[in-house]
Structure 1
Amino acid sequence: MLKNHQFHLVDPSPWPMIISFIILNYTSFSILFFNTKKTVPMIVNLILIAWVMFIWWRDVHRESTFQGLHTFSVMSSMKYGMMLFITSEILFFMSFFWSFFHHSLSPTHEMGMLWPPFNIESFNPLNIPLMNTIILLSSGVSVTWAHVCMCSNNYKETNKSLLITISLGIYFSFLQFYEYSSSSFSISDSVYGSTFFVTTGFHGIHVLIGTLFLIHALTRMKNLHFSSTHHLEMELAIWYWHFVDVVWLFLYITIYWWGK
């Protein structure tokens, strides 16, 4: 068939159907977990999801890096897709901030007409939260520098900057876990505990995903899959990391500082 366009017609792949069935099983076993506390089926399905994603991404890398099927038009479409994904993530977090402001601006009698509610000892925003803010802002600077170096063909400096960013992301997750372990309240302690742990918890998950995203980009860079003009995965990972940074700034200002 003649090819009179710059777009990639994807070959038939079994992975979307397979991962759909695995995710269906995962949701079913999640319901089973809430009733029977059996974790083995959930863990097995998580491993299967990770395995299928690895195989699927391997095929995508083969198409883009070795077969040259990801033209600039294809990469432009992928960038638009990432923009839409980040927009959906913004709306996702907006629902949690909406819940926080709804309850904090008009506390009910059940909460003692106070915010934070009575007997809730909130975190000091000048301790671990401030440290995490500095860490994420620093990681934003280092990952931006990595992108600048990549566009300048300075691969050695790109490698260093990505390693610094990944290290800062891991350190942030460690401090977040330490903060949770030292908390005097839990997710079931009033609406404050629910909004706090759900919002910061989902952000923490996004930090972990972003860290894995950057690790994968670093691995591909070491395998010489990127160039100064063709490093789409790294660029999208940087976009995602900046999104995580901005969400944390809103989270720190509203929940940690203003909410206290």
Structure 2
Amino acid sequence: MAHTLEKYFVPEPSKYPIFGSVALLLFGTGAAMWLNNVGPGRWVFFLGIAVLVFMMIGWFGQVVRESESGKYGHRVDRSFRWSMGWFIFSEVMFFAAFFGALFYVRVLSVPWLSSGDNLALLWQGFVGNWPTAGPGKAAPFTPMDAWGIPAINTIILLTSGGTLTWAHHGLRHGNRGQLKLGLLITILLGVTFLTLQVHEYSHAYSELNLRLDTGVYGSTFYFLTGFHGLHVTVGAIMLTVMLLRAMAGHFRPDDHFGFEAATWYWHFVDVVWLMLFVVVYWL
């Protein structure tokens, strides 16, 4: 019996990679100039952002149109799944590096510095407890309490994972009203999370004296939670695009990897926050 081989769709050469390269060049150059107060660095930075957004809208829009026109088969779908899987793996390694740095500081570095003759290398009165404002003599500060906004945000993100799963269930069973409502609720929960995080940062700066320059505790706290907030922002944008596509009639119960990719990313963000809540806030 003869078998028909599925053709693998190969897109035409695209102009968008060069736009992406120019965007990253402007973005990096502008950021360096802005941080060093050199010329119009701020405007170069935002120009890079604008070019990057243009590139993403154009390129992703082209992929959506190709997908909706039926040009993608199972082999392309498999390629997308592997690509998204490796992308999320790279994000896992990104956070693993900084969780590792936090572990090294808390478990190895600070206790070692406060032991034996090492105290002679530091300032008088240094105590190797966590959280620490070292290195250096920083002003007194209050660590962030886990059982306030962080606990509320944990409940919010866990709930958002449930509403997104509910939306996915609706899509798989042809209930598009459930799909749209679940996506909308998830997006609103994500925006609520970000709003509370901004309030948390304002409270930390104004009332707790917890700042970026509050030693290694302040820097690791803002770095980990800040980058997670950036990922929540990206995830909320992705889900907003999925909602707009759902309203336009996109996605079928048996063919909706664009939606699945966004759910993978959002659940990854949920898991990272759980780890952050335990390691950064609670312990």
| TM-score range for the pair, normalised by the shorter chain length | over 0.9
Aligned to 1:26: 27
Q: CA deviation at 1:233?
A: 1.0
Measured against aligned partners, the alpha-carbon deviations of 1:21-42 in whole angstroms (never above 9, x if no partner) come to 2211221121111111641111
Q: Which of the numbers 59, 62, 73 marks the counterpart of 1:59?
A: 62
TM (norm. structure 1) is 0.94
| Larger RCO, structure (CA 8 Å, separation 6 or more) | 1
Sequence identity of aligned pairs in percent? 36
Q: Tell me how far apart the structure 2 counterparts of residues 134 and 34 of structure 1 sit (CA, whole Å).
A: 36
Segments of 5+ residues of structure 1 without an aligned counterpart are none
TM (norm. structure 2) is 0.87
Which is higher, the Rg of structure 1 or of structure 2? 2
| 1:46 paired to 2:44 | no
* 8 Å CA contact 2:141, 2:210 repeated in 1: yes
Q: Tell me how far apart the structure 2 counterparts of residues 25 and 141 of structure 1 sit (CA, whole Å).
A: 39
| 1:77 paired to 2:47 | no
Q: Tell me how far apart the structure 2 counterparts of residues 58 and 149 of structure 1 sit (CA, whole Å).
A: 25
Measured against aligned partners, the alpha-carbon deviations of 1:55-98 in whole angstroms (never above 9, x if no partner) come to 111111111112x1111221111011111111111010001111
Q: Which of the numbers 106, 130, 141 marks the counterpart of 2:162?
A: 141
* 8 Å CA contact 2:29, 2:44 repeated in 1: no
Q: Which of the numbers 162, 166, 174 marks the counterpart of 1:153?
A: 174
Q: Which of the numbers 172, 197, 200 marks the counterpart of 1:176?
A: 197
Q: CA deviation at 1:120?
A: 3.2
AA in 2 matched with 1:74: V
| 1:226 paired to 2:251 | yes
Q: Tell me how far apart the structure 2 counterparts of residues 72 and 181 of structure 1 sit (CA, whole Å).
A: 48
Question: How do 1:1-260 residues align onto structure 2 when only pairs under 5 Å count?
Answer: 5-36=6-37, 38-66=41-69, 68-106=70-108, 107=110, 108-109=113-114, 110=122, 112-117=127-132, 119-183=140-204, 184-258=209-283
* 8 Å CA contact 1:203, 1:244 repeated in 2: yes
AA in 2 matched with 1:42: F
Where 1:233 maps in the other structure, the secondary structure is helix
Segments of 5+ residues of structure 2 without an aligned counterpart are 115-121, 134-139
Q: Tell me how far apart the structure 1 counterparts of residues 30 and 23 of structure 2 sit (CA, whole Å).
A: 10
AA in 2 matched with 1:112: V
AA in 2 matched with 1:100: L
Q: CA deviation at 1:115?
A: 0.6
* 8 Å CA contact 1:6, 1:74 repeated in 2: no
Q: Tell me how far apart the structure 2 counterparts of residues 192 and 9 of structure 1 sit (CA, whole Å).
A: 49
Q: Tell me how far apart the structure 2 counterparts of residues 17 and 154 of structure 1 sit (CA, whole Å).
A: 40
Q: CA deviation at 1:6?
A: 3.0
Where 1:182 maps in the other structure, the secondary structure is helix
Aligned length: 255
AA in 2 matched with 1:46: I
| Runs (4+) off by over 6 Å | none
RMSD (Å), alpha carbons: 1.4
Where 2:230 maps in the other structure, the secondary structure is helix
Q: CA deviation at 1:231?
A: 1.2
* 8 Å CA contact 1:135, 1:172 repeated in 2: yes
* 8 Å CA contact 1:29, 1:42 repeated in 2: yes
Q: CA deviation at 1:252?
A: 0.3
Q: Tell me how far apart the structure 1 counterparts of residues 6 and 21 of structure 2 sit (CA, whole Å).
A: 31
